[in-house]
Amino acid sequence: MPTLSRWFIKIGMLYFAIGLMMSAALLAQPVMGWSASLQVLRPVYLHFLFIGWVSQVIMGVGYWMFPKQSKDNPRGSERVGWAVFILLNVGMVLRAIGEPAIILAPQAGLGWTLAIASLCLLLAGWGFILNSWGRIKER
């Protein structure tokens, strides 16, 4: 398994574990009498599960298992692959900071984090598509 695929999958599993812990805390919040402000984590845990875990694992397995592009360049550009990995995770971290911040402290002016997070996630998605497109072909 390529190193990049291992990183995608391992970090994806980390997002899965953190997302599950957040969802458990959200479910326990009313029962335990914890602050209702904990509910600001609802979009974060959903993004962790669906982008951080599902998308990242799909990208890692896709990078590893899609048909080889050529003997010289079997998986497309490794640089683009790493850029996708970095952009995806920077976007996720910025989203995890920005979403609660704009609700809890709108005067702090952290809305830019969501704009940059969205741009990072968009670029990661397009980078993965462009890097993988040549590998999906007829025999």
pLDDT tens digits along 89-121: 999 999 999 999 988 888 878 889 999 999 999
| pLDDT surpasses 90 at 50 | yes
Tokens 């993004």, residue located: 47
| pLDDT surpasses 90 at 54 | yes
**Which of the pair, 40 or 94, is modelled with greater confidence?**
94
- Please give the structure tokens belonging to residue 57: 């694992």
- The predicted pLDDT at position 71 comes to 79
DSSP structure string for the chain: --HHHHHHHHHHHHHHHHHHHHHHHHHHHHHHT--GGGGGGHHHHHHIIIIIIIIHHHHHHHHHHSPPS-SSSBTB-HHHHHHHHHHHHHHHHHHHHHHHHHHH-GGG--HHHHHHHHHHHHHHHHHHHHHHGGG----
- The predicted pLDDT at position 122 comes to 97
Amino acid at 117: A
Q: What is the mean pLDDT of the chain?
A: 91
Q: For the chain, what is the domain count?
A: 1
- The predicted pLDDT at position 139 comes to 64
Residue 29: which domain range?
Answer: 3-135
- What pLDDT band is residue 36 in, cutting at 50, 70 and 90? confident
| pLDDT surpasses 90 at 34 | no
Name the burial class of residue 13, with classes exposed (0-12), middle (13-18) and buried (19+) by CB atoms within 10 angstroms of its CB.
middle
